[in-house]
A = this chain, B = another copy of it.
């Protein structure tokens, strides 16, 4: 372990792994410590308490998502392409980081996602809002609050990935293709002609 930041990160990653393996309920501090090759008490050098650790994971996850998505976005492309890239990249990110996906999904409905946490500035939310705003600015999608749009799109990506994972057997049995959902959503938000949809 080179320095303190590395150790903090390894504690966070250890906790993430445990959430992935055993769910939110299955990440006792004792296990987090063992996974991170650290004593239980050490965790309290880096985090005030378990809640602080959980919020630490949230910030870490949001940061990872922001990097991944912003690196892969190309603002010079037309917005429809960017939208499907966004969908594809976010799906890919979640599937490559199932621990972050599982954690994020559970965190948002948990008491840890307090008013205080919600009101903290969040680089990822801000990036996503700017993304959809730019789609409106170039007239590719309808005038809609970008907060609504990012909630709509992110919710659907999140749940599509979740459903793929949770209902794997059932979906295979019924030959369901969830790729369709991105097209349904795009059809819903794109600027159609004539635009008298409401």
A170 at the interface (CB under 8 A from B): yes
A45 at the interface (CB under 8 A from B): no
The one of B106, B115, B145, B197 that contacts A176, using a Cβ cutoff of 8 Å: B145
Q: Which residues of B contact A186 (CB under 8 A)?
A: 188
Contact assessment for A148 and B177 in the assembled complex, using a CB-CB cutoff below 8 Å: yes
Q: Binary interface profile of A, 110-138, with partner B (CB < 8 Å = 1, else 0)?
A: 11010100110000000000000000000
A39 at the interface (CB under 8 A from B): no
Contact assessment for B156 and A155 in the assembled complex, using a CB-CB cutoff below 8 Å: yes
CB of A196 to closest CB in B, whole Å = 11
Q: Which residues of B contact A184 (CB under 8 A)?
A: 144, 152, 185, 188-189
Majority SS at the chain A contact face: helix
Q: State the number of copies, please.
A: 2
Give A118 to B174 CA distance when docked, in angstroms.
Answer: 14
CB of A189 to closest CB in B, whole Å = 6
- By a beta-carbon cutoff of 8 Å, the part of chain A in contact with chain B is 22-23, 25, 102, 105-106, 108-111, 113, 115, 118-119, 144-145, 147-148, 151-152, 155-156, 159, 162-163, 166-167, 169-171, 174-178, 180-181, 183-189, 192, 197-198
13 pairs from A and B in contact (CB 8 Å cutoff): A23-B111, A109-B109, A113-B166, A119-B170, A145-B177, A147-B171, A151-B178, A152-B184, A159-B159, A183-B198, A184-B188, A184-B189, A187-B197
Across chains A and B, which 3 residue pairs bring their CB atoms closest together, nearest first?
A188-B188, A184-B188, A155-B159
